[in-house]
Structure 1
């Protein structure tokens, strides 16, 4: 169900309204969740990552763009620490429009993606935040493997047509050659 759900909406040329997403994310949820907002959104991000596992960093970047979370890059990757930077119009828009924007959904999502990828406990925290960029550090604890972990099959990322390159067999032929 998850892969079909993702494919249906990620491949849809008609994108949802930014307003509809922001009303839910930054008007409704903070009122519903109150002071526990950050913690709940962190765990919600982890749950989303279990529903939408990705296979590689490039898929993670595409997924973030498609969700409207911003442009994600891997700043640094080591055995026990991955540092991401989240930038772009969604980050700036939310940062300028909202007094205290919360990016814990994205933080939890990255923590769980690392847990799934490395099959061990991983946690994430925001280490830097200004109005234009967020830095998220994911700590991977290889000494705490996940027990009875049955990772889900990664979703098949839908790539925008402009990013797709034709296969060698699809190359146009020149009948005059």
Structure 2
């Protein structure tokens, strides 16, 4: 069901209203969850990552764009630490519109994606945040393997089709002269 759900909406040319998503995320959820909002959103992000596992960093970047979470960049990758940077219009919009925007959903999502990829515990935290970007560091604990972990089949990412514009040399010549 998860792959079909994702494919149906990711390939849809009609985009969801930004207002509807922001009202749910930044108005309703914080009021419902209260002081526990950040922690619950972190675990919700981990749950979403289990529902929507991706196969590669490229797919992860595409998924973030499609979710409207922003532009994700793998800044640095080492044996026990992966650092991501999240930028773009969604980050700036939320940062300027909301006094203290919460990016824990994205943080939890990255923690779980890394855990699944390395089959061990991964935890993430925001290490830098300003109005235009944030940095998320995911620590990988290779000494804590995931027990009973059955890796899920990655979803098949729908990559946006790009229109190919014909070169000026490819345009048919007018032969009616």
Instruction: List structure 1 segments (4+ residues) > 4 angstroms apart after TM superposition.
Output: none
1:147 is aligned to 2:147: yes
What are the Cα deviations for residues 119-145 of structure 1, in whole angstroms up to 9, with x where unaligned?
000000000000000100000000000
Partner of 2:96: helix, strand, or coil?
Answer: helix
Cross-structure match for 1:98:
98
1:132-171 superposed matches below 5 A:
132-162=132-162
Aligned alpha-carbon RMSD (Å): 1.0
**Superposed, which structure 2 residues align to 1:61-76 within 5 Å?**
61-76=61-76
Equivalent-residue separation in structure 1 for 2:163 and 2:19 (angstroms): 27
Distance in 1 of aligned mates of 2:156 and 2:69? 19
- Runs of 5+ in structure 1 lacking a partner? 165-177
1:10 aligns with 2:10: yes
Residue in 1 that maps onto 2:170: none
Aligned 1:28-43 pairs, distance under 5 A:
28-43=28-43
- For 1:110, the equivalent position in structure 2 comes to 110
Per-residue displacement from partner, 1:39-89 (whole Å, max 9, x unpaired)?
Answer: 000000000000000000000000000000000000000010000000000
Residue aligning to 1:173: none
Structure 2, unpaired ranges of 5+: 165-177
Secondary structure of 1:144's aligned partner: strand
Change beyond 3 A, Cα 1:163–1:103: farther
Q: 1:89 to 1:51 in 2, by over 3 A?
A: same
SS at match of 2:112: helix
Structure 2: how far apart are the matches of 1:45 and 1:151?
A: 17
Residues 46-65 of structure 1 aligned to structure 2 (within 5 Å): 46-65=46-65
Which of the pair has more CA radius of gyration? Answer: 2
State the shift of 1:151 in Å. 1.1
Q: How far off is 1:100 after superposition? A: 0.6
Q: TM-score, normalised by structure 2?
A: 0.92
Matched, 1:19 2:22: no
